[in-house]
Structure 1
C-alpha cells in the first residue's frame, strides 16, 4: 500500500500531481486545515501532511497521528508546527527555506517606492476626484542611503536591487564578513552607525530574543530625522508604539509595514497615520513563489516517503537511516559545541575550524559539521537548522574548515571547534562517552569535564583564593541553586574557567554582580 499524503492548505494543485506521479496516494483538502477538530479526526490515516500557514500542527495533532512520518511546510516559517512534539514522535518537519526570497525582496523594494512617493494616499485622493497634485511631494530613491538590517538571503537580494537603483547600501549583520560585504557591494557597519546614516531602513532578520524590538524607542531616536522604515521580515522587530510616536513628532518621515507584532492585525498603533503604508503579510504572495514552494515541498516529501531521503528538515540533519544511529550523538555534541561558541562570542565569527580526531573522523562528518554551524548561528538566527545552516553561513561569508586526523590524545573520538573573531580565538573540545552523553572536555588549553545542562553559567577569571566562595555567594543571594560545578585552570594563579549548571534562570542583576567580581574576565549565561 503506497504512502498516503494529505494537503490541508491551499497549495498549488501541481503539488498533488507530483505526489501522484511519484506513486503516492494524495487527498487535496485545501480548507481542512482551518478546522482543527476535522483535521484531528482524519490525520491518523496519513503518512505525510503538506501545509502552508493556516494549518496548526499541534502536539495533540501529532498524538492522533500514529502513521505520520513527515510534515512539509511550503514556505520558511514553521511557527504553526510544534517541532518539539514532532521530534519526540519521530516525525520529520521539512520547509522550503529559500523559495520566497526573491518575492519578499521585491515586496520590500515596492513598499520603499510606495513610501517615497506616497502612492497609496495619492491613489486614494485621485480616485476620490480631489486632484491634490501639490499635496504629495515625494523624495527620490537615487542617491539615498539604504540601511539593511540583516544581510542574509533576502537582505542580500534587497541590497542588490537597491544598488541597481543607484542607492548607497550599508548593512548591519554580525555574521556578514568584510569579504562577503565587498562581494555584495555594501558597506558593513555597526547598528548605531547605520541608524545615524540611513535615509531608508529595511529589516530582514528573524525574530529572536536578540532582535526583538531591534528598532526600540532608544534606537529609533538614534536615526536621522526624516528616515523612512520598511519591515517585510517579522512583526516584533520594531516597537510599534515608539514608531507611532516618532511619526507623530515628525522625526520619522514614514513607515511601510507588511508584518506586525500581532497578526491578523485588525488594530495596530501604526494604522491611520497619513505617512504609513500597510499590507497584510504579502511578502511571499506571488503566484510564482507559491508555485515554487508547493512544487519543492511535494518533491521533498515524496523523496522522503518513497526513498528515505531527507532534505531541508528543521529537526534532523540530512543523513540516511543507516547512518543515523552512529552519527546522532556526535551531531548532538557538535550542535552544542557550536551553540557554546555562538553564545560566548562577543564579536561575529568569520572563520570556523572543526577538527575530528579518532573514530569520529572515519564517519560521515558533513552532517556533524552542519550541526556545529547550526548551533553557532542559532543565537542570532533562531530558525536555523542543520540543513539550512551551511547555506546561511556561505551567504554571510563565514569560512568553514574541516580537518580529520587520527586520535592524538586520551579520547577515542574528539571534536574541536575553533572560531576566529575580531576579539580573538574561541576554542572548545568535546567528546561522547560510552553512556552516549556529549560533554565538554576542553576550553582553549584548559582541560575541563562538564556535561551540558539546559541552563549554565560560563566564567573566565583569574585563579585567586576565595573566588569560588564569592561566586557562590552571589548565586546564593539570588536564590539560584547550583546543580554541577566544573572547573579548570592553565596553571596555579593563572587563567581559570568554570562551567556551572544551575536550576532555572539566572536573574540579570545576578549576572551583573558576577561580572563585577574581582578577577572576572567574562561571565555569560548559556542555554542548551
Structure 2
C-alpha cells in the first residue's frame, strides 16, 4: 500500500480521498524541517502547500519518494532540479485556484483605482475626507497583462467585462489565441508604454525575475498603476519604491513579495500602495479545490502511473496510462538491451515509432527508452530523471513518429551511436500487451524478453548451436527458450537464449572462447 505524508494544512477531504483510494496517509501539518528530513524516507508521496520547503537535503533522505504534490500553482518551495535528479515527479494544481487568484487581481486593481483601503481607514477614524480620495475609472483604460496563461486569461475576461482595452505580452501567446481571447498581442516595450494599468501573471523563472526592473519601469506610461498577484520577485521592489516616490508610478497593489512572510518591507506604509498577505488563492472554494485536485493526482500516479500537471515530466492521462504502459515497458526493454551492450559512451539516441505506436503520446515512451538505456549507469534512473541524465552526458536525443505503414501493427525502434558503432533494436507488442523483440542490428528475429538472457553473436557455421548448448548443459544451466536469426547464410548469426538462473563469469568466458563467437554477453530484464 502506498503511503503519503501531508505536511501542510490541507482540507480534510484530501485525507479522505487518499484513504478511499486505498492509500495510507499521515496528516502532520506544520512539520519542522528537521522532522521532515527524519521521516521522509518512509513515504511514497508528499503533499504540501507553500509552507513546507522541499530542499535538496530533504530529497537526499527521500529514498522511496515517488511524487511531490503542491496544492497550488507555484513550486518555488520545491527544489525541482534536485527532485528530477532523484527521479521524483513534481506536480502542481494550476487550475484549482485560478478563478480565485484572478478575482483577487481585479479586486486589487479596483481598490488601487479608488483608494479604498485608505478611504476605509480614514472613515473608520471618524474623518470625512471626501475630497482627498479622488480615484480613476477603469472604464476605457488600457490594461497591460504580462502573462496570458490560465489566470491571465481569466483576468482578461473580467477586465473586458469592465470595458477596459486589454493588450497582452506573453512569448508563448499565438496570434490565434490572442484573437480567441479578444486582445491585442504586443511586445513588452509597447505594453509598458501604452498601459494605464499593468498586471502580472507569470511564473517566476530566470527570464521573468525582475521583469519590472528600474529600466522597464522607466519605460512605463507616467501615472501607471501596477498590480502583482502572481509571484514575488517579478518586480524590483527598490525600483518600484523609487518610481512611486517620484510620482512616475501612481500606485501599486501587491499580494506577493520578494521575501515572504513579509513582516517588513520598504513599500509598507506608503499611501499609494495596497498590500495583502499572499491572499490570491485564499478562498474556501480554492483551498478545497486544490486539496482535492492534488490528492486525486497523487493517487492516480501512485496507483495507475497517470501523471497530471507535472512540472518535470511529460503528462500521462488516466485514460492513456493503461494504454501506454505496455509500450513504455517495451521501450524500456529495448533501451535496456542497448545500454547493456554499449561499450563506449553513447553519443546519440533515436527512438522511432511506427504503426499504432505513432498515434500515442510519445514523450513517455521516449522517457522509458532513455530510462532503460541509462539503467546500467545508475540504478536510480527512471523515466523522470532519464532525460536529465542524457543532457548531462551530452547525449543527443531525437524522437520520430512515422506516418507510414510497417510490417507490424505497431513498432518501436531504438538506435544508439557509441564511438563508431551504431546499434538498432526494434520490438512490437504480442497480443497488444506482451513486449516482443523483432529486430537486432538489422537481423530479423522473434524473441520474448526473459529475466536473464544470453546474447551471442557468431559466424554462421554448422554445429555452433550444439557447442553452445553443450557448454551451457555442462555448466548445469537450463535453456528455457532459444531464439535465432542471421544476416544471410554463412554470414553473422545471432542467438538469444532465455535461461533459468544466471551464467557465472567463468562459463561466459568459455562461451566467448568457442570457435566463431564474435561477442557474448549476459542480459537481464
Tell me which residue corresponds to 1:345: none
Q: Give yes or no for the alignment of 1:168 onto 2:165.
A: yes
Distance 1:66-1:193 versus aligned 2 partners, 3 A rule: closer
1:472-495 Cα shifts (integer Å, max 9, x gaps):
xxxxxxxxxxxxxxxxxxxxxxxx
User: Structure 2: how far apart are the matches of 1:290 and 1:184?
Assistant: 27
User: Structure 2: how far apart are the matches of 1:311 and 1:64?
Assistant: 25
Tell me which residue corresponds to 1:85: 82
Is the CA contact (8 Å cut-off) linking 1:358 and 1:406 kept in structure 2? Answer: no
Q: Give yes or no for the alignment of 1:363 onto 2:357.
A: yes
Tell me which residue corresponds to 1:182: 179
Question: What's the TM-score once normalised by structure 1's chain length?
Answer: 0.63
Tell me which residue corresponds to 1:433: 416
The CA deviation at 1:153 is 1.0
Is the CA contact (8 Å cut-off) linking 1:317 and 1:371 kept in structure 2? Answer: no
Name the SS for the 2:274 alignment partner. Answer: strand
Tell me which residue corresponds to 1:405: 403
The CA deviation at 1:92 is 2.2
1:127-153 Cα shifts (integer Å, max 9, x gaps):
111121111111111111111111111
Is the CA contact (8 Å cut-off) linking 2:74 and 2:203 kept in structure 1? Answer: no
Q: Give yes or no for the alignment of 1:22 onto 2:21.
A: yes
Tell me which residue corresponds to 1:525: none
- Residue correspondence of structure 1 range 308-387 to structure 2 within 5 A: 308-319=305-316, 320=321, 321-324=325-328, 358-359=352-353, 363=357, 366-368=360-362
User: Structure 2: how far apart are the matches of 1:66 and 1:100?
Assistant: 32
The CA deviation at 1:75 is 1.2
Distance 1:87-1:213 versus aligned 2 partners, 3 A rule: closer
Aligned length: 364
Tell me which residue corresponds to 2:224: 227
Task: Find 2:147's aligned residue among 131, 147, 150.
Answer: 150
The CA deviation at 1:357 is 9.0
Q: Give yes or no for the alignment of 1:196 onto 2:193.
A: yes
Distance 1:173-1:133 versus aligned 2 partners, 3 A rule: same
Q: Work out which of the two has the higher radius of gyration on C-alpha atoms and give 1 or 2.
A: 2
Name the SS for the 2:298 alignment partner. Answer: helix
Query: What residue ranges of structure 2 are gaps of 5+ in the alignment?
Result: 336-349, 367-383, 385-399, 423-525
Name the SS for the 2:81 alignment partner. Answer: helix
Task: Find 1:284's aligned residue among 281, 284, 296.
Answer: 281
Distance 1:322-1:241 versus aligned 2 partners, 3 A rule: same
User: Structure 2: how far apart are the matches of 1:304 and 1:164?
Assistant: 39
Distance 1:58-1:365 versus aligned 2 partners, 3 A rule: farther
Is the CA contact (8 Å cut-off) linking 2:213 and 2:239 kept in structure 1? Answer: yes
Name the SS for the 2:83 alignment partner. Answer: helix
Tell me which residue corresponds to 1:97: 94
Is the CA contact (8 Å cut-off) linking 2:354 and 2:405 kept in structure 1? Answer: no
The CA deviation at 1:60 is 2.6
User: Structure 1: how far apart are the matches of 2:203 and 2:16?
Assistant: 33
Distance 1:163-1:403 versus aligned 2 partners, 3 A rule: farther
The CA deviation at 1:158 is 0.5
1:240-288 Cα shifts (integer Å, max 9, x gaps):
2121111111111101011112222223232221100011111111111
User: Structure 1: how far apart are the matches of 2:60 and 2:326?
Assistant: 26
User: Structure 2: how far apart are the matches of 1:366 and 1:243?
Assistant: 49
User: Structure 2: how far apart are the matches of 1:432 and 1:163?
Assistant: 53
Q: Give yes or no for the alignment of 1:305 onto 2:288.
A: no
Is the CA contact (8 Å cut-off) linking 2:146 and 2:201 kept in structure 1? Answer: yes
The CA deviation at 1:40 is 2.1
Distance 1:21-1:414 versus aligned 2 partners, 3 A rule: closer
Name the SS for the 1:277 alignment partner. Answer: strand
The CA deviation at 1:213 is 1.9
Is the CA contact (8 Å cut-off) linking 1:141 and 1:167 kept in structure 2? Answer: yes
1:384-421 Cα shifts (integer Å, max 9, x gaps):
xx9xxxxxxxxxxxxxxx9733599xxxx999xxxxxx
The CA deviation at 1:365 is 6.0
Task: Find 2:269's aligned residue among 269, 272, 277.
Answer: 272
Tell me which residue corresponds to 1:70: 67
- Residue correspondence of structure 1 range 447-462 to structure 2 within 5 A: none
Tell me which residue corresponds to 1:31: 30
Name the SS for the 1:214 alignment partner. Answer: coil
RMSD: 3.2
Tell me which residue corresponds to 1:492: none
Name the SS for the 1:201 alignment partner. Answer: strand
Name the SS for the 2:100 alignment partner. Answer: helix
User: Structure 1: how far apart are the matches of 2:144 and 2:279?
Assistant: 22
Distance 1:200-1:20 versus aligned 2 partners, 3 A rule: same
Is the CA contact (8 Å cut-off) linking 1:330 and 1:432 kept in structure 2? Answer: no
Is the CA contact (8 Å cut-off) linking 2:354 and 2:404 kept in structure 1? Answer: no
Name the SS for the 1:242 alignment partner. Answer: helix
User: Structure 2: how far apart are the matches of 1:357 and 1:48?
Assistant: 31
User: Structure 2: how far apart are the matches of 1:96 and 1:290?
Assistant: 11
Is the CA contact (8 Å cut-off) linking 1:327 and 1:363 kept in structure 2? Answer: no
Is the CA contact (8 Å cut-off) linking 2:102 and 2:152 kept in structure 1? Answer: yes
Question: What's the TM-score once normalised by structure 2's chain length?
Answer: 0.63
Name the SS for the 1:120 alignment partner. Answer: helix
Tell me which residue corresponds to 1:209: 206
User: Structure 2: how far apart are the matches of 1:311 and 1:165?
Assistant: 34
Is the CA contact (8 Å cut-off) linking 1:327 and 1:368 kept in structure 2? Answer: no
1:270-314 Cα shifts (integer Å, max 9, x gaps):
222110001111111111111001001111111222223222222
